[in-house]
């Protein structure tokens, strides 16, 4: 069964707001086993809205519209949907009562245009709005169900969870379940090459790769009659992927980010961590603190962007900075050694690089970054050449630091050398 999402609103077309309603509805519908092939955004314009709705009801089984149910003249969604579907509207006494109650409760002044919201399609299902005045509407035709939801996210999400999800659940026989295998230290194209045979031969579950900064995610998605049957299809594929990618797999849990994987690895090995950052300027610490409870493992973070701060806070030698420069293997190493001494953390990370746009030279171009990581005194230093603008280089360096940190901890405990990531 297919679903299509249409969000109505000039503020989305102008880019004033990000369309979080579409993302919410899409994720929920996927979880309910509905296939979403199209999303659209259109303004409060009768002709264009008519066209978009007509196209949608011709090609999809369920059409969900959000927005345009307000009391003002601009709000056209219900009127246009009813016109396209050839359904009359009638004033609903119980909706009128709800609106009256809402205004009394909120101590607001009720104006005549509010009664527009009490008009409902004949034979339609009226869905109570517990967070506003515009009720939701479900119109059932032979080949298509059209669902109208209010635009404000707080009203839409609550109404969807309370009433629309249970309604949709009655429509489909199958459910969709997906699992993500998250990789680090490998490029998207190499990852894809390694699973091309699986991608080409698999139809259920399907396999798709997604590139993230410093990571590749492989999503395995199954469609079956129930959750258990989906998981049974997914399990052998995930096992196969884990075998093919070995230590490049950092998690198979949707909720686990790279930083959470690092924090969990630290916790599991009873380790503390400290960071000394130059070009990334706090971004590695900030990533670690994305994880609630990171205070248990993160001892301290230093942002030492200037040479003075590197000397004063980390004890980097003046002679090292003069001889090798702030962006060098030697400086990264001394940052980590100083951090070990001052913070007494088990794992120490030091990052120094040239994020640009200025400051690059032929021998030390913009994008050159050295990352040192020590685990209980055993130090590894890697050299990277990142491309992109200042923001991209810093984001790449931050991800690389987390990946290197994971690698160094694993190597330390397994006594296995991973080698340079590709």
- Choose, by CB under 8 A, the member of 114, 251, 331, 333 that binds a second copy: 114
The 8-class DSSP code of residue 124 comes to: P
Please give the residues from 252 up to 281 whose contact with a second copy meets the rule CB under 8 A: 275, 277, 279-281
CB nearer to a second copy: pick between 87 and 220: 220
Proportion of the chain in helix, strand, coil states, percent, rounded to 5:
45, 25, 30
Degrees, nearest 5: CA angle 141-145-146? 110
* Neighbouring C-alpha atoms within 13 Å toward the C-beta of 364: 16
What is the footprint of a second copy within residues 195-234 (CB under 8 A)? 196, 199-200, 208-211, 213
Residue 323 sits in the site that holds a second copy (CB under 8 A): no
Can you tell me which of 231, 244, 388, 410 binds a second copy, judged by CB under 8 A? 388
235 vs 392, beta carbon nearer a second copy: 392
388 CB contacts (<8 Å, ≥6 apart)? 367, 396
Minimum Å distance from CB 240 to a second copy?
A: 19
Q: How many residues bind a second copy (CB under 8 A)?
A: 119
CB of 288 to a second copy, least distance (A): 7
Is the distance from CB of 122 to CB of 116 less than 8 angstroms? Answer: no
Q: How far is the CB of 344 from a second copy (least distance, A)?
A: 10
Phi then psi dihedrals of residue 356, to 5 deg: 75, -170
Please state the separation of Cα 168 from the chain's center in Å.
25
Complex with a second copy: residue 11 or 140, whichever CB lies closer: 11
The sign of the CA dihedral 84, 87, 88, 89 is: negative
386 touches a second copy by CB under 8 A = yes
**Interface residues for a second copy in 350-379 (CB under 8 A)?**
355-359, 367
Pick the closer one to a second copy by CB: 87 or 182. Answer: 182
Residues 289-308 that bind a second copy (CB under 8 A): 289-290, 292-296, 298-306, 308
Q: Can you tell me which of 8, 19, 87, 266 binds a second copy, judged by CB under 8 A?
A: 19
Angle formed by the axes of helices 307-314 and 329-343, nearest 10°: 40
By beta-carbon proximity to a second copy, the closer residue of 42 and 332 is 42
Yes or no: say if 214 and 248 are a contact pair by the CB < 8 Å rule.
no
Instruction: Tell me the closest approach of the beta carbon of residue 123 to a second copy, in angstroms.
Output: 28
Structure tokens at 253: 């849990």
Q: In this structure, what token pair is assigned to residue 67?
A: 């927005």
Footprint on residues 50-69 left by a second copy (CB under 8 A) = 52, 55
Q: Is 33 in the site for a second copy (CB under 8 A)?
A: no
Q: How many angstroms separate the CA atoms of 42 and 48, rounded?
A: 7
DSSP 127-183: E--TTSS--EEEEE-SS-EEEEE-SSHHHHHHHIIIIIHHHHHTT-S-EEEEEEEEE
Rank residues 41 and 332 by Cβ distance to a second copy and give the closer one. 41
Read out DSSP for 227-272?
Answer: HHHHHHHHHHHHHHHHHHHGGGEEES-TT--HHHHHHHHHHHTT--
* Closest distance to a second copy from the beta carbon of 318 (Å): 16
Residue placing its CB nearer to a second copy in the complex, 308 or 318:
308
What x-and-dash track marks residues 150-189 binding a second copy by CB under 8 A?
A: --x-x---x-------------------x--------xxx
């Amino acid at each position: 069964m297919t679903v299509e999402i249409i969000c109505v609103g000039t503020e989305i077309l102008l880019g004033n707001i990000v369309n979080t309603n579409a993302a919410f509805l899409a994720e929920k519908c996927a979880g309910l086993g509905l296939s979403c092939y199209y999303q659209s955004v259109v303004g409060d314009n009768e002709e264009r809205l008519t066209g978009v709705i007509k196209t949608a009801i011709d090609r999809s089984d369920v059409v969900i519209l959000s927005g345009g149910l307000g009391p003002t003249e601009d709000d056209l969604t219900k009127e246009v949907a009813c016109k396209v579907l050839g359904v009359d509207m009638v004033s609903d006494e119980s909706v009128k009562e709800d609106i009256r109650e809402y205004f009394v409760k909120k101590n607001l002044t009720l104006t005549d245009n509010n009664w527009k919201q009490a008009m409902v399609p004949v034979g339609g299902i009226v869905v109570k709005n517990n967070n506003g005045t515009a009720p939701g509407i479900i119109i059932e035709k032979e080949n298509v169900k059209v669902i109208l939801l209010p635009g404000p996210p707080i009203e839409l999400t609550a109404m969807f969870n309370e009433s629309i999800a249970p309604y949709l659940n009655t429509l489909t026989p199958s459910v969709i379940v997906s699992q993500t295998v998250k990789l680090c230290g490998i490029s998207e194209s190499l990852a894809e090459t390694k699973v091309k045979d699986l991608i080409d031969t698999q139809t259920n579950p399907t396999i798709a790769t997604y590139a993230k900064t410093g990571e590749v995610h492989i999503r395995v998605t199954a469609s079956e009659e129930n959750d258990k049957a989906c998981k049974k299809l997914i399990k052998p594929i995930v096992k196969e992927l884990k075998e093919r990618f070995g230590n490049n797999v950092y998690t198979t849990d949707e909720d686990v980010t790279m930083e959470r994987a690092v924090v969990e690895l630290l916790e599991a090995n009873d380790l503390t961590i400290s960071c000394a950052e130059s070009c990334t300027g706090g971004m590695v610490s900030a990533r670690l603190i994305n994880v609630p409870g990171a205070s248990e493992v993160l001892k301290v973070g230093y942002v030492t962007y200037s040479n003075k701060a590197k000397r004063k806070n980390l004890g980097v030698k003046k002679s090292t900075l003069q001889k090798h420069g702030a962006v060098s293997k030697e400086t990264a190493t001394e940052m980590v050694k100083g951090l070990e001494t001052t913070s007494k953390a088990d794992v120490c990370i030091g990052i120094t690089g040239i994020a640009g746009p200025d400051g690059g030279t032929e021998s030390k171009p913009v994008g050159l970054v050295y990352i040192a990581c020590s685990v209980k005194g055993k130090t590894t230093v890697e050299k990277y050449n990142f491309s992109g603008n200042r923001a991209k280089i810093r984001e790449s360096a931050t991800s690389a630091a987390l990946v290197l940190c994971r690698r160094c901890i694993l190597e330390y405990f397994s006594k296995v050398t991973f080698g340079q990531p590709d």
